[in-house]
Structure 1
Amino acid sequence: PDVSRFTLSRYSSSRGSNNSFLHDKSIVAAADHKGGFNRLIMIDHGVGKGDQNDDDDDNDDEEGQGFYGKKKGWWWRYCSFRSSNSCAWISLQICWRLVLSLGFALLVFYIATKPPPPKISVKVARVGEFGLGEGVDGSGVTTKILTCNCSVDLLVENKSKLFGLHIHPPTMDLFFGRLPFAISHGRKLYAQSSSPSRFQLSVGTRSKPMYGAGRNMQDLLESGMGLPLVIRLKLSSNFRVVWNLIKPRFHHQAECLLVLDDKYDKKHRTQKYNSTCTITSS
């Protein structure tokens, strides 16, 4: 009896393993009456090891899911068809893929066919009429009355082989010193691809009272030094590469210094003049 109690207490006092040990194995105490001592028989059912392997496999699966979830969880959640089988989700996935593909295709097309900036030049064509005379304004005040007409040639060289150049209505101003006395707004223009285009613009005024400026103009014309005038031209243009989605824009400003003589050239039907023009583009 003492040996049996000692043996059982030895196995039951194992640290932290008594419960698991009893679950996995059955302990049978058999008495041998002949020898006067007890024998301890242990029967292993083979369950503990299998359960432990299953638990290990479950833990491995959970760890694997956690690992892959951290690695690409957002991708599978928002960009994969596996997250939902609903038609709305599938339609959403197809739509954003199509939009992304279309945007990429348009970007490649624009880079491959990007039109170069147009080359623009300006020169004064003729001054058809320039006359200062005595007259009265609307209130009956006597003053100098001006009638003039000036034409400017606009040459546009479109170097693009695929796209035409759309030119917004240009604006022209005619100045005497800082005084603007004539202004004009042109019409929309279009320059074809791979060819130069020439347009004629005009600015002028009719029966405009000039008051004190009119007398100064008359004095400069009669002095033989010439009457200095300034023509300023502003215009903007753009290419329509992909309908109205991609439109490269260009801005141009031209300035022409025009010095008029008091003589008239009947052969060319213009007032005699000298002119120089400069243009800037951005």
Structure 2
Amino acid sequence: MQHAKSESDVTSLAPSSPSRSPKRHVYYVQSPSRDSQDGDKSSVQPSPMESPSHHSFGRHSRNSSASRFSGILPSAGRKGRKRNDKGWPECDVIMEEGKYDEFDDDKKFTRRCQAAMAVVGFILLFTVFCLIIWGAGRPFKAEVAVKSLSVSNFYIGSGADSSGVPTNMLNFNGSLKLSIYNPATFYGIHVSSMPVNLVYSEFVVATGELKKYFQPRKSRRTVFVHIEGTKVPLYGAGSTLQVGSNNAVQVPLMLNFTVQSRGDVVGKLVRTKHRKRISCPLKIDSTSNKIIEFNKNSCDFS
């Protein structure tokens, strides 16, 4: 026996007919509110509906919701920051990559400046040191004393020069004795001389030269200079010579020379140089060869 379908049964079965769409289920996505700083408040947004009769719409809805959900996550990450133990919000560390050539160039430039300043400072200090040493060694001048002139041969006679002009001729041969003292306490000296000249009436009648030598500090040394002149023409100057009773001739002469000394204080970088000009007047008797002594007042030093 079949029962007649009631109106309520027909109504309950109506939604299952294929001509009508099934009941749509509604779901919600919860995301943090933009106005909340702590991430506690959230907003509810309805998701798009899917319809069996429009398949493309369903796929589009799923893609749209997925993209919308993924777009919400960064916002939630920015707004809903985590907090540390002290209650301060944690910040993400941003790693920045870039070239540091500018900083390297600054460091290289700074190092070069420091090296240049160090070199300049060393040069200045060394220069000041050299000046101090030079000033300390400057007062130490070589002391020269003329002791004697030993005459081996002295002769004046008539003759002729190289061109045949008749005139008085002079020959001289002797040795000059000098005493040189180096008062420097911390360096030796190199001693030499300019030509040692024996002059008669502005004519150089004999000459010699002190050979260069080295003299240690705080030392005294006696040196000899050989002076010689052979057949030196006197021309008109010979007429003024004084002749003695025994035909002896008194010849006034002048001994002129310069002694040079050089001290190497700091190698060749710092040197001290001194010159001493010496002039000694004397008279020589042409008939007797003897030693002429000198004292402190016999010569002029400058």
- The 3 A distance-change label for structure 1 pair 206 and 130 is same
Q: Is the Cα contact below 8 Å between 1:127 and 1:150 reproduced in 2?
A: yes
Q: Which residue of 2 aligns with 1:245?
A: 269
> How much has 1:142 moved relative to structure 2?
2.8
User: Could you report, residue by residue, the CA deviation over 1:19-43 in whole angstroms, capped at 9, with x for unpaired residues?
Assistant: xxxxxxxxxxxxxxxxxxxxxxxxx
TM-score of the superposed pair, with normalisation by structure 1: 0.59
The correspondence for 1:174, drawn from 192, 198, 222, is 198
Q: Is the Cα contact below 8 Å between 2:174 and 2:227 reproduced in 1?
A: yes
- The secondary structure found in structure 1 opposite 2:222 is strand
CA–CA distance in structure 2, aligned partners of residues 89 and 221 of structure 1 = 88
- The 3 A distance-change label for structure 1 pair 220 and 204 is farther
Q: Which residue of 2 aligns with 1:262?
A: 286
The correspondence for 1:129, drawn from 149, 153, 161, is 153
> How much has 1:247 moved relative to structure 2?
1.7
Superposition pairs of residues 1-282 of structure 1, within 5 angstroms:
85-86=108-109, 87-110=111-134, 116-217=140-241, 219=243, 226-264=250-288, 270-271=289-290, 273=292, 277-281=298-302
Q: Is the Cα contact below 8 Å between 2:250 and 2:284 reproduced in 1?
A: yes
CA–CA distance in structure 1, aligned partners of residues 174 and 195 of structure 2 = 14
> How much has 1:139 moved relative to structure 2?
2.3
Aligned residue type for 2:120: W
TM-score of the superposed pair, with normalisation by structure 2: 0.55
> How much has 1:112 moved relative to structure 2?
5.9
Please identify, of 162-171 and 210-219, the stretch whose mean Cα deviation from structure 2 is larger: 210-219
Aligned residue type for 1:202: H
Q: Is the Cα contact below 8 Å between 1:156 and 1:191 reproduced in 2?
A: no
Q: Is the Cα contact below 8 Å between 1:263 and 1:271 reproduced in 2?
A: no
- The secondary structure found in structure 2 opposite 1:226 is strand
User: Could you report, residue by residue, the CA deviation over 1:164-186 in whole angstroms, capped at 9, with x for unpaired residues?
Assistant: 11123332121113333333343
User: Could you report, residue by residue, the CA deviation over 1:130-185 in whole angstroms, capped at 9, with x for unpaired residues?
Assistant: 01222222223332221102321121111123211112333212111333333334
Q: Which residue of 2 aligns with 1:15?
A: none
Unaligned runs of 5+ in 1: 1-82, 265-269
CA–CA distance in structure 2, aligned partners of residues 245 and 197 of structure 1 = 27
> How much has 1:113 moved relative to structure 2?
6.1
CA–CA distance in structure 2, aligned partners of residues 151 and 278 of structure 1 = 17
Unaligned runs of 5+ in 2: 1-105
CA–CA distance in structure 1, aligned partners of residues 245 and 281 of structure 2 = 16
CA–CA distance in structure 2, aligned partners of residues 105 and 138 of structure 1 = 59
Identity of aligned residues (%): 22
- The secondary structure found in structure 2 opposite 1:168 is strand
CA–CA distance in structure 1, aligned partners of residues 124 and 158 of structure 2 = 70
CA–CA distance in structure 1, aligned partners of residues 165 and 137 of structure 2 = 61
More strand by share: 1
Q: Is the Cα contact below 8 Å between 1:228 and 1:258 reproduced in 2?
A: yes
> How much has 1:231 moved relative to structure 2?
0.6
Please identify, of 194-203 and 105-114, the stretch whose mean Cα deviation from structure 2 is larger: 105-114
Aligned residues: 194
Q: Is the Cα contact below 8 Å between 2:137 and 2:272 reproduced in 1?
A: no
Q: Is the Cα contact below 8 Å between 2:170 and 2:205 reproduced in 1?
A: no
- The 3 A distance-change label for structure 1 pair 278 and 84 is farther
More helix by share: 1
- The 3 A distance-change label for structure 1 pair 279 and 244 is farther
